[in-house]
Structure 1
Amino acid sequence: MSELVLEPAVRQLEMLRAREISVLELAEAHIRQIERLNPQLNAFADFDAGPVREQARAMDVAPANARGPLHGLPVTVKSSIATAGYKCEIGSLNHRGEIPREDAVVVARLRAAGALILGTTNCPEFLMAYETANLLHGQTRNPWDQERTPGGSSGGESAAIAAGMSAAGLGSDSGGSVRVPAHFTGICSLKPTPGRIPGRGHLPPCVGPFSTLGAIGPMARTMADVELMFRTLSGQDDADPASPPVTLREVKESELRGMRIGFFEDDGLTPVTAETRAAVRAAAAALRDAGFCVEPFRLRTLEPLRKLWWTFFVQCGAMFYEPEVRGGREKLSPIFREFLEIAEKTGPLTSTELLNAWAEMDLLRSKTLEEMREYPVLLCPVASAPAWRHGERNWTIDRQTVAYLDAVRYTQWFNTLGAPAAVVTVGRSPEGLPIGVQITARPFEDEVALGVAGILDRAFGFSPPPMACGS
């Protein structure tokens, strides 16, 4: 059954529609994979096989006219996205045992489309880390190497999908949190333009600067699966001020090939491993072979975008959480205390600094979009290196020390820009770890990013971690 659970989501759905397999049989295959691997990986925050079987039995007898496009597909949801009936504790002792009564808008759409929800997945406390560990559920491990992290903050989600414990799922991303985990575990993901997949019901709410930085995004083993999730779940939420009235668009490959792609192997400040450079070059070559014009190009606004991301994510993030954690640091996980210590070194923002930063963000986004007129698609690394060991916080690359938050700066720019960015696995490290590349398009051109990423995914494809293939 391990072969079945590692099939793409689109293939699993084909088998369900053709009655080659029942929803219950597919659910049982995933339950067995979870029971076999989750004790080692610790990807789930909440899972109970009983309700999953009940859902599956009901779906098997549902009339044909009540079956949506995801009917019977086993999926998971990051435990920061409200999912009625499942623990959504944001990895914090402060929220131990919290079970939402209502679904987030995107989870309601998942259910309406017929998806079979397996459970919720682990995340770092309050989502403020690039690895997944907390005092509530412990440490999540990477299926490629259990001594390494699957990333964060959607690390439980990426580990579950990579290991075949889930066909697809939902994460969220304010600084790379669906992209870094995809890169670390060898799967695909999309950080959409904020609001194209509604964010209402995310915990904590994507408000203030996080309405630009943050987005709920699909994760799966193939870009075809990611695109299916995006097309099924996107659309305006008219009660969400950050959700735009943008309709789905069909973009033909001929139209994509008319767009120039700019690529860069590093940002000129923070080096990347040789294998990461090789992955970007391989992706650029594959796109040229597919008929694209791919040329070296690096945005001049990268470092200002990153500094603004730091202002909003690190400094504002700490300020947002300060009332909740005040006087209770002993209850906080080491990984969140580490985040607070980083923020405290920078210091809190004054009202004038915040106002100036907010104005600067609009001006800087405008300048960046002007640059992207020539190259509306960008190809670059996801991070300086592949998945790191639990607790590692600096690395030597090209004889230069690379610090923790600098290693993942390659995703942060596009949160400040509010642009869609997809990740596809292209290469391998000497240890056999996956290495992804990032494909970014202009805001609201998510279908462009998906289209180009899909071409790359077809050229390289998903490979499962060896532990996922056992019986």
Structure 2
Amino acid sequence: MSELVFEPAVRQLEMLQAREISVTELAEAHVAQIERLNPKLNVFADFDAERMRSQARAMDAAPVDARGTLHGLPVTVKSSIASAGYKCEIGSLNHKGEIPHEDAVVVARLRAAGALILGTTNCPEFLMAYETDNLLHGQTRNPWDMERTPGGSSGGESAAIAAGMSAAGLGSDSGGSVRVPAHFTGICSLKPTPGRIPGRGHLPPCVGPFSTLGAIGPMARTMADVELMFRTLSGQDDADPASAPVALRDLSLDELRGHRIGFFEDDGRTPVTAETRASVRKAAAALRDAGFCVEPFRPSTLESLRKLWWTFFVQCGAMFYEPEVRGGRGRLSPIFREFLAIAERTGPLTATELLNAWAEMDLLRSKTLEEMREYPVLLCPVASLPAWRHGEREWTIEGQKVEYLDAVRFTQWFNTLGAPAAVVPVGRSPEALPIGVQIVARPFEDEVALGIAAVVDRAFGYRAPGMAAGA
């Protein structure tokens, strides 16, 4: 039964549908894995084994004709996505014990599809870090090396899935928060086009510039599982102004091959490790072997996109949170105080600066999309390096100093662009840490990113961390 938890979600569903295993048996396998590993990894913000067992028994008793696409699949949800009956505290003492009464739209869709929600997963306070740590639940650790972070802000989610404690789940991403954790823990993820998976019910709301930057995205061990989650949960939410009525598309391999792919190993400013470069080249070679045209190409707008991301995520983010944290900094986690200190070095935006930045974002997105006409798909790194040790904030790579937020700039560009971006594990560092690559498509072309990422995933794919597999 211990090996069952590492099966892809699509395989677990096949076994459930064929009655090879019951929902209760599958749930018990996950309970055993959680009880063995969660004390070491600390991934959950809310988990109750008896609650889950009760739900599993009810699912086993449900009529066959009432069972949805995900019937009985054990999944987790980041604790910043409203899940009725579960703690969703955004990693903050300010929200300790908060339990929503209503589901986010995407969680309601999970339940309607029959998913078995295991619990909610840990995140950094207010989501503003690439590590998962807070004063409320503490530090989440990476199953590949517990001295290292699984990333943030969806770090609890990525660690749970990588370690076989969850078959799949939901994170959210305004600056790489489903992609960096996937890269750090050796799993797959998708930051969709904002609104393709509805964002209503995210905590805090994805409003203002975050309606472009932010998206709720699926995470799993294979791209087939990520695509299953995307297809099950996507679709317009007519009360969400960012959610467009875009129909799902089925693309053949030949249709996918019609998209030229531009690849680059760095942005010309920030170096990456040799193994990261090699991973991008391996992914490019695998796509060429599969019949794709893959050529060197790098948009000229990357640094401008990154500067605008900084304006909106760092400066606007701090301005959004200022009323909540005013007068209460003693209750804030060190990791969130670190974010505030970074923001304060830049200072708040004036009204004119904000207006000009918002206008510039539209112009810059247009220029980038013009440049991507020849190469509508991009292949590039996720970060300069694999998972770092808890608290590390500076590294020397190729003889150059790389600082904290610069090391993950490779994801930030595509939040400003509002583009779908998938992550697939490809390589390994000298310490045997996973290294992912990023496949990016034009806005609303999520199925293209998913389809091409799946080709890469079939060539490389998930491996279980030794401690999670019992080694």
| Same fold flag (TM > 0.5) | yes
Structure 1 residue 118: deviation in Å? 0.1
Matched letter for residue 52 of structure 1: M
Q: Deviations over 1:236-280 (max 9, x none)?
A: 000000100101011111011111100000000000000000000
Structure 1 residue 2: deviation in Å? 2.1
Residue pairs, 1:134-283, within 5 angstroms = 134-283=134-283
- Give the Cα separation in 2 of the matches to 1:216 and 1:173: 6
Q: Deviations over 1:124-176 (max 9, x none)?
A: 00000000000000000000000000000000000000000000000000000
Match of 2:69 in 1: 69
Structure 1 segments (4+ residues) deviating >2 Å: none
**Percentage of pairs with the same residue:** 87
Match of 2:322 in 1: 322
Residue pairs, 1:300-449, within 5 angstroms = 300-449=300-449
Matched letter for residue 139 of structure 1: Q
3-state SS of the aligned residue for 1:408? helix
Asked if 2 retains the 8 angstrom alpha-carbon contact of 1:259 and 1:377, the reply is: yes
- Give the Cα separation in 2 of the matches to 1:319 and 1:55: 41
3-state SS of the aligned residue for 1:181? helix
Residue pairs, 1:51-62, within 5 angstroms = 51-62=51-62
Matched letter for residue 163 of structure 2: A
- Give the Cα separation in 1 of the matches to 2:268 and 2:120: 39
Instruction: Tell me the C-alpha RMSD between the 2 structures.
Output: 0.5
Match of 1:7 in 2: 7
- Give the Cα separation in 2 of the matches to 1:33 and 1:92: 27
Match of 1:20 in 2: 20
Match of 2:36 in 1: 36
- Give the Cα separation in 1 of the matches to 2:207 and 2:329: 24
3-state SS of the aligned residue for 1:76? strand
3-state SS of the aligned residue for 2:343? helix
Matched letter for residue 46 of structure 1: D
Structure 2 residue ranges without an equivalent (≥5): none
Q: How many residue pairs were aligned? A: 471
Asked if 2 retains the 8 angstrom alpha-carbon contact of 1:189 and 1:219, the reply is: yes
Q: Deviations over 1:192-238 (max 9, x none)?
A: 00000000000000000000000000000000000000000000000
- Give the Cα separation in 1 of the matches to 2:33 and 2:244: 39
Q: Deviations over 1:77-112 (max 9, x none)?
A: 000000000000000000000000000000000000
Q: Deviations over 1:288-311 (max 9, x none)?
A: 000000000000000000000000
- Give the Cα separation in 2 of the matches to 1:418 and 1:470: 40
3-state SS of the aligned residue for 1:427? strand
Matched letter for residue 425 of structure 1: P
- Give the Cα separation in 2 of the matches to 1:316 and 1:276: 31
Structure 1 residue 461: deviation in Å? 1.3
Match of 2:452 in 1: 452
- Give the Cα separation in 1 of the matches to 2:381 and 2:345: 28
Structure 1 residue ranges without an equivalent (≥5): none
- Give the Cα separation in 2 of the matches to 1:244 and 1:207: 15
TM-score by length of 1: 1.00
3-state SS of the aligned residue for 1:390? coil
- Give the Cα separation in 2 of the matches to 1:459 and 1:205: 38
Q: Deviations over 1:343-399 (max 9, x none)?
A: 000000000000000000000000000001000000000000000000000000011
- Give the Cα separation in 2 of the matches to 1:259 and 1:235: 24
Match of 1:130 in 2: 130
- Give the Cα separation in 1 of the matches to 2:64 and 2:372: 46
- Give the Cα separation in 1 of the matches to 2:161 and 2:175: 20
3-state SS of the aligned residue for 2:427? strand
Asked if 2 retains the 8 angstrom alpha-carbon contact of 1:2 and 1:468, the reply is: no
3-state SS of the aligned residue for 1:133? coil
Residue pairs, 1:456-471, within 5 angstroms = 456-470=456-470
